[in-house]
Structure 1
Amino acid sequence: MSIQPKEFIVNKSNLPDSRFVPLRVPEPAELKDGQVLLQIDRFAFTSNNVTYAAFGKAMQYWNFFPAEEGWGNIPVWGFADVLASRADGVNVGERFYGYYPMATHLTVNATRVSDAGFTDGAEHRQAMHGLYNHYVRTTTDPGYTKESEDVQVLLRPLFITSFMIDDFLDDNQFFGAQSVLISSASSKTAYGLAFMLSLRKDKACKVIGLTSAANLEFVRNMGIYDEVISYDQVTTLTASQAVVYVDMAGNGQLRSQLHHHFGDNMKYSCAVGGTHWDELSGASDLPGARPTLFFAPAQIKKRMTDWGPGGVQTRLAHAWQAFMQPVMAAEKPWMQVTHGYGEADVRQVYETMLGGSARPDQGHVLSLCRKLD
């Protein structure tokens, strides 16, 4: 099957406006020293990717894979195969996990090549955190299996964020709060955090999930939140208790409502996601703690110093293994993987996710190159 090189781009100032455009892919003979041509086999699209688009300018997500003026390519996590290489130590046919555009192909400048993988040394990517520029060689990744690729692209990057928020809150003694409020409680990053918090036997904080009425049953059945309420019930929470708010939804109206309800008892407030991408206003001039953006790589950097070489990876690996048990349980798994192929499926998933109508128990893995097994 001949693959027509293409990429999926969105209007930065009007996210529902999207289109596919042809992609210029170099011939193997055109590659410069150090360059590698990758064919993107599969990638995940979750509410986290909507966050990348919603915070594209503020967090520099649009800078990873530049598109034409006014348009952006939303970064995704996935797997790709080497089609051609002019980089020593990176061979044709090898498979790499990492950060990719929503496209059929990507050309990178392979630097810092090691047994573990390589870093894209492209000049336009150097201002961003190195975590996003590293490509992991599947043959040497101890956590990789062919059978778990879908779960890896769907949950691994999200769970790293969940793990680091849990650690950050504990590192700061939960800011003296009695409860942790988590919005968009059915989202994968949210329930990853709730799972981590549920493991704390000495937990001082109650974990309260906030979700839509449609997702109440799903979230309650997970059994990891101490309490689950719908958004229209938030003002029934006791305002005299000290709380921290982890905003996975990016809903400015909800944020304002919670800050005004708890006032000075809002001890910490962070925005992690933007699933309600169209309601991101309302973060300024609020009572209580000033809302901030949570950036997982900053906490990772701190812990790399605190825990020493391999400390983050070891702790994360143990937590990941525990998390996988309920997620992929034989009976009543938290997530079911669905595959999509081609322009129509990619656009449908994007529009569904953007519209906030995606099912919480589904995980979407897509490809513009082939029908997935």
Structure 2
Amino acid sequence: MDILCHTFAVDRGDLSRTAVLSNTEAPPAPGEVVLRVDTFALTANNTTYADLGDQLGYWRFFPAEAPWGVVPAWGFADVIASACDGIAPGERLYGYWPMATHARLTPVRLTPDSLVDATGHRQALPAAYNLYLRTSGDPAWRPDLEAIQALLRPVFITSFLIDDLLGDVTPPPEQVVLTSASSKTALGLAWLLQQRGMAVAGLTSAANLAFVQGLGCFGTVLPYDRLDALPRGLCSATVDFAGSGTLRQRVRDHLDDPSAWRLAVGFTHRDATPEAHPPPFFSAADRLRQRGRDWGRDEIARRVADRWADFAPWVAQRLTVQAGRGLADVEAVYRQLLAGGVPANVGHVLSPAA
């Protein structure tokens, strides 16, 4: 039976312009499954996917006709029709979905805890995004923490990889400065750095100051207008989640160390200020590929799962999950994120079905 699918899309040339695209999904062809997308998280991480859609290939995961692009999101979906041996209707998967009511996969490499999507157009894309976890066999899955998993497990992997990269920095930094310290990727990184005894300084807006101070994983927390109080004279590393050239230059000028290690990660405070020496942009996919060669996929998964098992219940006590239903709610939250209007202690987990 054909299935009517509705997809939230954005104009790739004007991210403030949105539409709902509708199409009919045919029954699964041999080897395919069709899923109903149940819930996904919508955070600043998704707007970063849109910002870098062309540069890093995020538009290519779920192609749409120009000028539209489909922003990927992390969450859960249930198989409603299967023509793939080893997967039955009712199975629940965690992974990378379109912001849509339905999705289609071509599963291969089935194991008790995971599978890989082998849909043709995704084969040239980073393998990490083609991996789906089967909740029935995922040792890290907890039904009471599904919302936290959707919100933070993807960005926690990024946090883990940045923390791992910082371990390679020579000389080792004496302090790590995080801009947009209230962002969810920064939160995970600060927690990881604290676990290994690193001094962490966070810069945030005045509105988010109390939240970041209350987390307990930053040694120093300052509003942006007081960044001149950051400790100087230390070997410092800066990880920028804000994406503001003006802010990066202010931090660089204050620390007054041209050789200080710097990395750009996100765009929570976009501006187009040109920089004489912009930091390199972090590619989680590249670091994941490197560690895949060094450690192997199973060892990466084990190390991330070990850290996640401690982090998830800790962070669940510090975030408020807000649920929404329907693509109208998806659009409303997306626009809030573009405008920077989502409180730092709030995470949105949405169901695309009304």
Both structures adopt the same fold (TM-score exceeding 0.5): yes
Match of 1:292 in 2: 280
Kindly provide the CA deviation profile for residues 158-212 of structure 1, in whole angstroms up to 9, marking residues without a partner as x: 1111111111101224x443321101101111011101111113x3xx3110100
Counterparts of 1:207-218 in structure 2, within 5 Å, are 207-218=200-211
Match of 2:17 in 1: 17
Match of 2:264 among 271, 277, 290: 271
Match of 1:47 in 2: 44
Give the distance between the partners of 2:119 and 2:148, measured in 1 at CA: 28
Match of 1:107 in 2: 104
Compute the RMSD of aligned alpha carbons: 2.1
Match of 1:246 in 2: 239
Match of 1:235 in 2: 228
Give the distance between the partners of 1:132 and 1:17, measured in 2 at CA: 26
Give the distance between the partners of 1:263 and 1:162, measured in 2 at CA: 26
Counterparts of 1:1-373 in structure 2, within 5 Å, are 5-26=5-26, 28=27, 31-173=28-170, 175-201=171-197, 203=198, 206-238=199-231, 240-276=233-269, 278-279=270-271, 281-282=273-274, 284-286=275-277, 291-307=279-295, 310-328=298-316, 333-369=317-353
For residue 250 of structure 1, give the secondary structure of its aligned residue in structure 2.
coil
Give the distance between the partners of 2:220 and 2:131, measured in 1 at CA: 39
Give the distance between the partners of 1:46 and 1:251, measured in 2 at CA: 18
**Aligned 8 A contact 2:4 2:25 in 1:** no
Give the distance between the partners of 1:343 and 1:115, measured in 2 at CA: 33
Q: Which structure 1 residue ranges, 4+ long, deviate > 4 Å from structure 2?
A: none
Q: CA 1:67 to 1:280, structure 2 compared with 1: closer, same or farther past 3 Å?
A: farther
Give the distance between the partners of 2:335 and 2:79, measured in 1 at CA: 30
Amino acid aligned to 2:241: M
**Aligned 8 A contact 1:249 1:273 in 2:** yes
Q: CA 1:309 to 1:347, structure 2 compared with 1: closer, same or farther past 3 Å?
A: closer
For residue 310 of structure 1, give the secondary structure of its aligned residue in structure 2.
helix
Amino acid aligned to 2:48: T
Amino acid aligned to 2:286: A
Give the distance between the partners of 1:209 and 1:215, measured in 2 at CA: 11
Q: Structure 1: 5+ residue runs without aligned partners?
A: none
TM-score by length of 1: 0.89
Q: Structure 2: 5+ residue runs without aligned partners?
A: none
Amino acid aligned to 2:310: A
TM-score by length of 2: 0.93
**Aligned 8 A contact 1:176 1:267 in 2:** no
**Aligned 8 A contact 1:34 1:87 in 2:** yes
For residue 275 of structure 1, give the secondary structure of its aligned residue in structure 2.
coil
Distance apart, 1:352 and its partner CA: 0.9
Give the distance between the partners of 2:273 and 2:61, measured in 1 at CA: 25
Amino acid aligned to 2:184: K
- Alignment: residue pair count: 353
Give the distance between the partners of 2:172 and 2:15, measured in 1 at CA: 38
Give the distance between the partners of 2:247 and 2:324, measured in 1 at CA: 33
Q: CA 1:305 to 1:43, structure 2 compared with 1: closer, same or farther past 3 Å?
A: same
Give the distance between the partners of 1:280 and 1:25, measured in 2 at CA: 40
**Aligned 8 A contact 2:140 2:309 in 1:** no
